[in-house]
Amino acid sequence: MFLLVSVFVASCTCDEHCVSSHGGLTDKEVSYRKQRQLLYYRDEFAWEKAILSDPFNLTADWVGSSVCDYTGRIRTVAGIDLNHGDIVGCLPEELGLLTDLALFHINSNRFCGTVPHKFIKLKLMLELDLSNNWFTGKFLEVILKLPLLKFLDLRFNEFEGTIPKELFDKDLEVIFINHNRFRFNLPDNFGNSHVSVIALANNKFHGCMPASLGNTTGLEEIILMNNGFRSCLPEQFGGLKILTVFYVSVNRLLGTLPEQIGGM
């Protein structure tokens, strides 16, 4: 699942979009590059203004027009990685201007507030990691509008409310939404998901485990501990032939173990 990073690296060179066939730059191409660059550092890079504390000075060089030289920024801004920076602040709407973003990793900081609606413009996004921050609010509906998203990590925040059932119809490979305040029943289409790893632990899910979970034949790990499930284990779980981790402790499971589990 982490091979997606190689796709991000391959997309980091911007010159193929800007150089003419004879190797030089036309006036039109130069103008194009300037316009793109202006978008990236518009208003002296608005995100820097929204950050209130940066103890490791990761954003100290976020000044001027040479955005490719900024710490955490790569050419064409195809990826942002500020993991473990202990940064305090919020996410401004201007981040939606970085339409080349394929990777956005800001885990283990102290970002708060909500996620900008303009993230809906990030149509090339492959990996979105907002874990271990102070984000609040409802589930991010914009996630459902990111057509290429494969890796979703929202764990260890303060998100709440329900999860739209459409999430499980997306072609995601990894879903981490554990350690939040989500509260809902797992929908019948849960088994439509193509995930290999899913972690829903330490929320307030309840109801029964849907039999459709047995349809997720590519599932390798599922972690459902410490929720409110009051359910038997469906016999369809026996269809999970490559499952290696099945963690459902601290729930209210009932009945007997179906024989089909021996086929897992």
Q: Which tens digit of pLDDT belongs to each residue from 117-145? A: 999 999 999 999 999 999 999 998 899 99
CB 97 within 8 A of CB 56: no
- Whether 123 maps to a domain, the answer reads yes
Estimate to the nearest angstrom the gap between the alpha carbon of 38 and the chain centroid.
27
List Cα–Cα distances, 231 to 22, 159, 241, 246, 255, in angstroms. 67, 25, 22, 15, 8
Question: What SS3 state is found at 96?
Answer: helix
Rounded Cα distance, 219 and 184, in Å = 22
Estimate to the nearest angstrom the gap between the alpha carbon of 181 and the chain centroid.
17
Q: What is the CATH number of the domain that holds 206?
A: 3.80.10.10
**Parallel, antiparallel, or unpaired for β 88-89 and 197-199?**
unpaired
Least confident span in 28-42, 96-110, 213-227:
28-42
Rounded Cα distance, 186 and 198, in Å = 13
Higher-confidence residue: 15 or 235?
235
- Whether 15 maps to a domain, the answer reads no
Domain count, the chain: 1
Higher-confidence residue: 75 or 217?
217
CB 149 within 8 A of CB 170: yes
- Whether 65 maps to a domain, the answer reads yes
Residues in the chain: 264
- Whether 11 maps to a domain, the answer reads no
Rounded Cα distance, 152 and 128, in Å = 5
- Whether 41 maps to a domain, the answer reads yes
Which pLDDT score is estimated for 165?
Answer: 92
Question: What SS3 state is found at 117?
Answer: helix
Highest mean pLDDT among 65-79, 87-101, 227-241: 87-101
Instruction: Give the position of tokens 């003419």.
Output: 20
- Whether 201 maps to a domain, the answer reads yes
Which pLDDT score is estimated for 215?
Answer: 87
Amino acid type, 85: G
Q: What is the mean pLDDT of the chain?
A: 82
Rounded Cα distance, 164 and 245, in Å = 25
- Whether 246 maps to a domain, the answer reads yes
**Parallel, antiparallel, or unpaired for β 110-113 and 181-182?**
unpaired
Higher-confidence residue: 160 or 209?
160
Least confident span in 64-68, 119-123, 192-196, 219-223:
64-68
- Whether 164 maps to a domain, the answer reads yes
Least confident span in 73-87, 128-142, 148-162:
73-87
Amino acid type, 21: S
Which pLDDT score is estimated for 11?
Answer: 35
Residue 82, Cβ neighbours under 10 Å: how many?
23
pTM (2 d.p.) = 0.74
Expressed as residue numbers, the domain containing 238 is: 25-263
